[in-house]
A = this chain, B = another copy of it.
Amino acid sequence: MRDTYLVGAGQSDYGAFPEESYRSLFRTAYEATVESAGGVDADDVDEAYVGTLGVGGRQLGLSGPAVTEHVGLRGVPCTRVENACAASGYAIRQAVMAVRSGMADLVLAGGFEVMTDSSSEATKYWLGVSGETAWERMSGTTFAGVYAQMADAYMREYGVERESLSRVAVKNHANGAKNPQAQLGFTCTVEDAESAPAVSDPLTLYHCCPTSDGAAAVLVASEDAARSFDERIRVAGVGAASDRVGLFQRDTYTGVPASTDAADAAYGAAGVGPADLDFAEVHDCFAIAELLAYEDLGFAERGDGARLVDEGVTDLDGALPVNTSGGLKSKGHPIGATGAGQAVEAWKQLTGDAGERQLDDPKRGLTHNVGGSGGAAVVHVFEREDAPEPRGAGAGRGEVGR
């Protein structure tokens, strides 16, 4: 199996940009990616994968070629990949596969979404049809409603207070405030989060990510192709898994089995465990999702995830910083861009380009991208070539910050 590397990564700002189109946002992300790679000749790009849910339906078919032609990659095979909010996490996985297959040496993977120009009713429709449509949506349940059920079940089962959810928001806003590309780049307090209007009890406005416009991309290269770039970050492991699309159809309300399965596959492929990670970007579409991710990804035992945020373990200066970018909560969540945007943060941290939120010489990080409420998940482990020998798959499982 051929080794694969990130050789560039970049994104547009996330936010509400009425003057931009999906194409112009993707172009911004592409240009940032090319710049981060120290320049790329379009003729050298063999293949492209583009993730988008297609919110708004403005270019529902062939939106992959529609954006790659716009950035000058005319003729390059381009495939749109979709797994709801995990679309571009899967796009990166396809790029890794393309390189490993020997069918490509340099592959663009990215994603985009334009959400803020639709009415909230329209956005609810476009997001709703990414949930389970036969029962969940028809019963009127939105994604906020699904995650509220998970939050309620988690809080009851483990005796967790809503303040822990609020601390996720506080942490991620604090990080996002150091990220000039974040949509909600302001800080907030536990009191702000607690007193905000309810969206779906127990979740308040501050426990929910915003709707966002944005695009992000990475360049994935074979070992040979990577040699001609200034910087390269190894894709140490990739894992993906699916599950039943509806929360009510799954085995648990207090975990996302697809995340665990994807993480196990990625850890196994990389030969690493949670103890080997210096940071993680996890899918915090709602605050509860970050606490579940701590447990699904093996950072904490079941029911012990809230401790990590309560004790500051996942703060920027904690033992395992999580969502240094601000996460979906503060940086924003343009559906199709999110997975690639997480990899952009991993690239920035590992190449020392994370500005005010830069960690102290991190060597290895993880990204975790979820589709829907857990119908699909994909996990990547990225590492510098000078990363220390890992302690091995399973190392530190459930023990982060202990």
Interface residues of A (CB under 8 A from B): 1, 48, 53-54, 57-62, 64-66, 68-69, 73-85, 90, 93-94, 96-98, 100-103, 126-127, 129-133, 238, 240-245, 249, 257-258, 261-262, 371-372, 375-376, 378
Contacts and interface: CB of A to CB of B under 8 A. Distances in A.
A81 B84 contact: no
A101 B3 CA distance: 11
Nearest to A23: B134
Contact of A62 (B78, B376, B378): B376
A97 B103 contact: yes
Contacts of A240: 77, 79
A125 B294 CA distance: 43
Given A60-B129, A64-B82, A75-B242, 15 more contacts: A1-B101, A48-B242, A58-B129, A61-B83, A61-B129, A61-B130, A61-B131, A66-B132, A69-B244, A73-B242, A74-B242, A75-B258, A79-B82, A97-B98, A101-B101
A103 B265 CA distance: 11
Contact of A376 (B65, B81, B85, B129): B65
Of A1, A53, A97, chain B has the most CB atoms within 10 Å of the CB of A97
B130 A75 contact: no
B129 A65 contact: no
A85 B68 CA distance: 18
Given A65-B243, A65-B375, A130-B61, A80 B78 contact: no
A268 B29 CA distance: 34
User: Which of A54, A77, A126, A241 has most chain B Cβ within 10 Å?
Assistant: A77
Contacts of A101: 1, 96-98, 100-101
Contact of A372 (B61, B68, B245, B375): B61
Contact of A242 (B76, B96, B129, B262): B76
